[in-house]
Amino acid sequence: MRVALFATCVNDAVYPSTAIATTVLLERLGVQVDFPAAQTCCGQPQYNTGYRRETEPLLRRTARAFAGYDQVVAPSGSCVAMVRDHYPRIGAKAAAEGRGSELADHAASLAARTYELTEFLTDVLGVTDVGAYFPHTVVYHPSCHGLRFLGLGDRPRRLLEAVKGLELLELPGADECCGFGGTFAVKNPDVSAAMGADKISNAGATGAQVLCGADNSCLMHLGGLLHRQDSPLRTLHIAEILAGTEEETHA
């Protein structure tokens, strides 16, 4: 089984600790991971802002970078939703515009092999207890793309509940959007910040030490709000919790 790590551009450039944790975690579970260096960005910010044709070279690049791998795993529900939901649409539109089926073929091939991390752990590897240790109180924010587009359901929660020492608290209004939304965060900064303020206030009210998520883009937004307010609550990607053991911490 050849498994490729799709680190995502945000993790590569800003949150390498998440990509490192994903690598360590998967290797601990016996997966041989490769990082194809030709990967860059899936193109979601461009596509969701209205630049579909500008996204096409990135679709092509991503498909080629991961060609030949049995599975592609990303620690981001958002980027996986881009591959699984939007790549086929980009391919279909290109075909409808008389530009052949190349993009649609790339999209279909990649969409069938691409998994979000928690989905890969529970569905492909069939594990919920990954042997992790994290002695802290945690709330989990299920980002919209994972929750509604990928239908991750309770997979991330099941993984967290199996972590030794971890106390998982209920996040009120968990399924509501945090307000990041890609370029929405800067095109509609006031509504975005108002949504984020409610999310961190709900998280803070639980008394948890850690606000955990499976998408660093949402956590960048929430973390930015928390940092500005000097809040003791810190954000952390689920991979960094799951990678940690009693011997070695990754968070």
Partner 1 sequence: MSGTYLGMPAFPEAARSSTRDTGLRANLTHATRTIRDKRATAVAELDDWAQLRQAGKDIKDRTLRHLEHYLTQAEQAVTAAGGTVHWAADAAEANAVVADLVKATGETELVKVKSMATQEIGLNEALAAEGITAYETDLAELIVQLGHDLPSHILVPAIHKNRSEIRDIFTEQMGRWGRPAPEGLTDDPAELAEAARLHLREKFLRAKVGVSGANFLVAETGTLVVLESEGNGRMCLTLPRTLISVVGIEKVIPTWRDLEVYLQLLPRSSTAERMNPYTTTWTGTTEGDGPQDFHLVLLDNGRTDTLADQVGRQALRCIRCSACLNVCPVYERAGGHAYGSPYPGPIGAILTPQLRGIQSEIDASLPYASSLCGACYDVCPVAIDIPEVLVHLREQVADQGGSGHRLERAAIKGAGWVLDHPALLAAAERAASRTRALHPRRLPGPGAGAWSRTRDLPELPAEPFRDWWRKHR
59 burial level (CB within 10 Å; 0-12, 13-18, 19+):
buried
Q: Which is nearer to partner 1, 129 or 248 (CB)?
A: 248
* Local structure of 137: helix, strand or coil: strand
List interacting residues with partner 1 (CB under 8 A).
7, 9, 11-17, 19-20, 23, 35, 37-41, 43, 46-52, 54-55, 57-58, 61, 86, 89, 144-145, 148-149, 175-177, 179-197, 220-221, 223-225, 227-228
Q: Which is nearer to partner 1, 142 or 156 (CB)?
A: 142
CB 223 within 8 Å of CB 234 = yes
Least separation in angstroms between residue 237's CB and partner 1 is 12
Share in percent of the chain as helix, strand, coil (round to 5): 50, 10, 35
| Torsion 102-104-105-109 (CA) sign | positive
Token pair 């959007």: residue: 177
Least separation in angstroms between residue 1's CB and partner 1 is 17
CB 130 within 8 Å of CB 240 = no
Least separation in angstroms between residue 56's CB and partner 1 is 9
Q: Which is nearer to partner 1, 35 or 133 (CB)?
A: 35
Amino acid, res. 36: P
Q: Which is nearer to partner 1, 122 or 192 (CB)?
A: 192
108 burial level (CB within 10 Å; 0-12, 13-18, 19+):
middle
Least separation in angstroms between residue 139's CB and partner 1 is 18
Q: Which is nearer to partner 1, 85 or 129 (CB)?
A: 85
Least separation in angstroms between residue 250's CB and partner 1 is 13
Q: Which is nearer to partner 1, 41 or 166 (CB)?
A: 41
HSE-up of 170 (CA within 13 Å, CB side)?
2
Least separation in angstroms between residue 144's CB and partner 1 is 4
